[in-house]
Amino acid sequence: MADSLKNSGFSDALIQCLPEGIIVVNEARQIVFLNQSAERITGWTTTEALGKSINEILHLSAGKEQFSDYLSLPSSLLPPVNVTNRHGQDITLAISTSCPNVPNGDSSGTAIVIRDITAEDTTQKLRSYFLANISHEFRTPLAALKASVELLLDGVREFSLDETQELVRSIHFSVTALQTLIDNLLESVSIEAGRFRVRRKRTDLNVVVDEAKMIMKPLLERRNQPLVIDLPENLPKVIVDPMRMTQVLVNLLSNASKYGPIDQPIEVCIDLEANDSLKVSVTDRGTGVFAEDKANVFRRFVRLDQKDQAQYGIGLGLSVVKTIVESHGVMVGLDERLGGGSIFWFTIPIVES
C-alpha cells in the first residue's frame, strides 16, 4: 500500500475524486491546475481555464475586490466568498489556501481549496430571518394581551360593558393570533421531521367553514373585513381530515386579511366542478401577488410583502396549506381576481353517496 501511495497516478486519481475543488495558481495568479470538483463548481473545464487569471474564473458577485485579493490572507481569516460561476449562477464558496512545497523547491504557487456552501449559506440566512421575525410575531399579540389584562386587573376605575367587551375582544384576537402561529410552527416541524399525517373521515364542509369563521372572527372584526360565504345548497360530503382542512381555511383567511384592505370583504366560495369535485376558494381585494413571487408563493419562509408596505410574518402559512392539501391528493393554486386581488383555491373530490 505504501508503494501505491507513492505512485503519481494514484495521487492524481485521489485528488481528482475529492469532493472539494482544488485550484493551483502560479505567482502571476494564473491557473495551472483544476481537479474535477473545481470544474463542476466553477463551470470551467481544465482546457478552458489553464492560463487564465483566477479572477476570471472566480469572479466576485459584488464589490470592487478581486478574488486574488483574498489569497494574501491567512486561511483562518478567509470569509465565505460570493462568486459568479461560468453559467452566471451566484454561489457561495468556503475557501482555504496553502503554498505547497514542491520537489524542485519552487513554492511560488498557491493551492486553493474551494467548497460550495450555497445551500448551507441559504439555510443560515433563513434561520436568521426566521429568528428575527418570529420574535416580532410573538411580541405583537403578547404585548396587546398583556396590556388588556393589565387594564382589567388595574382596578383604578370601573369599565363600562362596551369597554370590557372591547378589552375581551382584544384578548381573544391576541390569543387567536398566537394559536394560529403556534399551529403553523408545530405543523412545519412535523412536516420537516417526516411525521406529518392526515386522518381522513367523512366530513361536512359546512362545519369546517363555520369553525374557521369562528377562529378568524376577532381578526376580521379588528380590520372590519366582512366575511362573505357562498356555499351550494345540500353541500356533498367529502373524505378529508377536518382539523387539517379547518387549518387550511384559517391560513388562507389569515393571508387574505393580512394582504387585503381594511373595510373590504373577504369571500369564501365552494363550487361544484364538472369532474365530481369541489373547488374551495378564498378571495381578497388586495393588490395581488407580484408576478415574480407566484412561482414561490407556497414555499416555506416566503412572504408576500408589498414593495410599499411593511408587512410581517414568518412565511409558514401557505407552505402548510400546500402540504395539507397535497397530502389529500388534490390540487392547490392561485389566480388573479378581476379588478384586483388574489384567489387562493384548492379542490376536494366528492364522496359518492
What CATH code is carried by the domain that includes residue 329?
Answer: 3.30.565.10
A 10 A CB-CB count for 88 gives 7
Pair 238, 326 in one domain: yes
| Distance separating alpha carbons of residues 22 and 27, to the nearest angstrom | 16
Pair 100, 148 in one domain: no
pLDDT of residue 352: 60
- Write the CATH number for 101: 3.30.450.20
Pair 22, 79 in one domain: yes
Average the pLDDT over 99-111 and give the result.
Answer: 64
Share of the chain above pLDDT 90, in %: 17
Concatenate the DSSP letters of all residues of 1-30 into one string: -HHHHH-HHHHHHHHHT-SSEEEEE-TTSB
| Distance separating alpha carbons of residues 38 and 85, to the nearest angstrom | 11
**Does residue 304 have a pLDDT over 70?**
no
- List for the chain the helix, strand, coil content (%; round to 5): 45, 20, 35
How high is the mean pLDDT of the chain?
A: 80
The residue ranking higher by pLDDT, 58 or 187, is 58
**Does residue 226 have a pLDDT over 90?**
yes
pLDDT of residue 2: 39
The residue ranking higher by pLDDT, 274 or 258, is 258
Residues 6+ apart with CB under 8 A from 347: 273, 277, 278, 279, 280, 330, 331
Pair 197, 140 in one domain: yes
pTM of the model: 0.58
100 neighbors 107 (Cβ within 8 angstroms): yes
| Distance separating alpha carbons of residues 239 and 278, to the nearest angstrom | 12
67 neighbors 58 (Cβ within 8 angstroms): yes
170 neighbors 141 (Cβ within 8 angstroms): no
The three grid cell numbers given for residue 37, joined into one nine-digit string: 470538483
Pair 148, 197 in one domain: yes
| Distance separating alpha carbons of residues 66 and 63, to the nearest angstrom | 8
Pair 282, 339 in one domain: yes
The three grid cell numbers given for residue 194, joined into one nine-digit string: 417526516
- Give the end of a domain, one of 70, 85, 116: 116
Pair 153, 104 in one domain: no
Estimate to the nearest angstrom the gap between the alpha carbon of 59 and the chain centroid. Answer: 28
Pair 61, 165 in one domain: no
Pair 99, 149 in one domain: no
Q: How many domains does the chain have?
A: 2
The closest alpha carbon to 295, from 308, 304, 286, belongs to 304
- Give the end of a domain, one of 100, 116, 132: 116
**Structure confidence at residue 256 as a pLDDT band (50, 70, 90):** very high
Q: What is the extent of the structural domain holding 294?
A: 123-349
230 neighbors 267 (Cβ within 8 angstroms): yes
- What would the pLDDT profile of 130-149 be if each residue is shown by its tens digit? 666 666 667 767 877 887 78
In the chain, where does DSSP find H-type helix? Answer: 2-6, 8-16, 36-42, 46-49, 54-57, 118-154, 161-192, 205-222, 242-259, 317-327
Pair 111, 218 in one domain: no
251 phi, psi to nearest 5 deg: -65, -40
| Distance separating alpha carbons of residues 349 and 232, to the nearest angstrom | 15
324 neighbors 245 (Cβ within 8 angstroms): yes
- Give the end of a domain, one of 48, 81, 116: 116
Pair 67, 29 in one domain: yes
Average the pLDDT over 111-129 and give the result.
Answer: 75
**Structure confidence at residue 208 as a pLDDT band (50, 70, 90):** very high
Pair 19, 43 in one domain: yes
The closest alpha carbon to 129, from 317, 315, 319, 320, belongs to 315
Share of the chain above pLDDT 70, in %: 81
